[in-house]
């Protein structure tokens, strides 16, 4: 987002906030309805004539109207308090997201200040054949921080893979990013290192005391001894590769894993429409990978055993809910068909957002 568009967003947000405050102040002045409040008098002869009649009738209908007005006032009070609470919660969530993003940007600026000289060193690659290019025309570090979420959220999603690597050290994390999974493996007492083509990502790992190499993942794999790894992890890397580098990466992983070693590769699930939205949000993606296609490539490149694991379903409140039909045997068939159709649509539209290939050498 450009500076101009950011300023415009701030102005728009300010106008929306001011309008919201005016509406809130007006609601505050109106919520306390009362049966004793004088009614507004209409203009003209009709208003003048009706005013005495209303005043005369009010004491006689007060017993009937008063409970309704009291109930309306209580409802208004509860509704305003609920709106205030929701507004506060949404504000806190927004503040937390912006705080995480701001923290990432500040840490990045600090690392840039410390490593400005190292950027010109001979080891810095100028292009990459796999993973995210180091010469993108936009700030990919900030882009990923905004799109993928905070470190805590990413670590929570990746924690399910830690158990797969027990006894599989050393582990290599391809496209290690900010080091979320490396930190999980370190905390579990496992020997692990990572490689990433993005300099900022690598510096983020190193600032956390994690072992990470700045370079192309294919070149890094080629430099390792055969059968020197127990496990390889690759989260949201394969979809960045065109067919030739993808096949080459799988071939190299097979060669570098010792017998019985495993590869865990997570990628967006193109069988879910919700996942496709997130997939196309990243401009660096090369192609979505249908699960059966990835399994076939893994088998052809030398893996002996594979399985698929689908993860990260959208929240229940975002999925279609069952529809209740009237009771009675005449609706039994319709009830079964409707439930099956709702389940099918949920699988296709709101299915798991990611899947993982678990491949053993």
pLDDT band at 88 (very low <50, low <70, confident <90, very high): confident
Top-confidence range, 12-26, 78-92, 101-115, 204-218? 204-218
What is the helix (H) or strand (E) element at residue 14, kind and residue range? helix 3-30
pLDDT tens-place string over residues 194-233: 999 988 889 989 989 999 999 999 999 999 999 999 999 9
pLDDT tens-place string over residues 273-331: 888 888 888 888 899 999 999 999 999 999 999 999 999 888 888 888 888 888 888 88
Does residue 247 register a pLDDT over 60?
yes
pLDDT tens-place string over residues 258-281: 999 999 999 999 999 888 888 888
- What pLDDT, on a 0 to 100 scale, did the predictor assign at position 53? 67
More confident residue, 305 or 58: 305
Top-confidence range, 20-34, 72-86, 227-241? 227-241
Distance CA 205, CA 186 (A): 12
DSSP assignment of 173-230 equals EET-TTSHHHHHHHHTT--EEEEES-HHHHHHHHHTT--EEES-HHHHHHHSPTT-EE
Q: Are 255 and 229 in contact (CB under 8 A)?
A: no
Q: Nearest-CA neighbor of 303 among 253, 349, 337?
A: 253
pLDDT band at 10 (very low <50, low <70, confident <90, very high): very low
- What pLDDT, on a 0 to 100 scale, did the predictor assign at position 230? 97
More confident residue, 235 or 10: 235
């Amino acid at each position: 987002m450009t500076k101009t568009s950011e300023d415009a967003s701030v102005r728009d947000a300010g106008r929306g906030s001011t309008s919201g405050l005016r509406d809130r102040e007006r609601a505050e002045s109106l919520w306390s309805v009362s049966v004793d409040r004088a009614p507004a008098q209409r203009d003209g002869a009709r208003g003048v004539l009706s005013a005495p009649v209303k005043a005369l009738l009010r004491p006689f209908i007060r017993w009937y109207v008063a409970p309704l007005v009291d109930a309306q006032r209580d409802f208004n009070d509860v509704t305003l308090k609920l709106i205030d609470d929701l507004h506060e919660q949404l504000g806190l969530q927004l503040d937390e997201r912006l705080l995480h993003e701001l923290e990432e940007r500040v840490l990045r600026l600090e690392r840039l200040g410390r490593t400005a000289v190292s950027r010109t060193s001979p080891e810095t690659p100028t292009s990459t054949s796999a993973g995210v290019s180091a010469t993108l025309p936009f700030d990919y570090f900030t882009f990923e921080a905004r799109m993928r979420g905070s470190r805590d959220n990413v670590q929570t999603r990746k924690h399910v893979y830690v158990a797969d690597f027990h006894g599989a050290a050393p582990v290599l994390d391809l496209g290690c990013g900010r080091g979320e999974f490396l930190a999980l493996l370190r905390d579990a007492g496992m020997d692990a290192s990572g490689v990433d083509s993005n300099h900022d990502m690598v510096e983020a790992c190193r600032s956390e005391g994690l072992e990470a190499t700045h370079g192309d993942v294919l070149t890094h794999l080629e430099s390792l001894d055969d059968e020197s790894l127990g496990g390889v992890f690759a989260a949201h890397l394969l979809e960045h590769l065109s067919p030739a580098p993808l096949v080459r990466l799988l071939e190299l992983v097979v060669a570098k894993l010792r017998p019985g070693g495993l590869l865990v590769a997570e990628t967006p699930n193109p069988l879910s429409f919700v996942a496709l939205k997130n997939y196309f949000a990243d401009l660096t993606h090369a192609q979505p990978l249908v699960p059966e296609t990835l399994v076939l490539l893994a088998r052809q490149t030398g893996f002996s055993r594979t399985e698929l694991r689908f993860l990260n379903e959208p929240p229940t409140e975002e999925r279609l809910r069952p529809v209740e039909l009237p009771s009675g045997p005449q609706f039994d068939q319709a009830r079964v068909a409707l439930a099956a159709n709702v389940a099918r649509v949920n699988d296709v539209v709101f299915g798991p957002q990611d899947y993982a290939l678990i491949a053993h050498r």
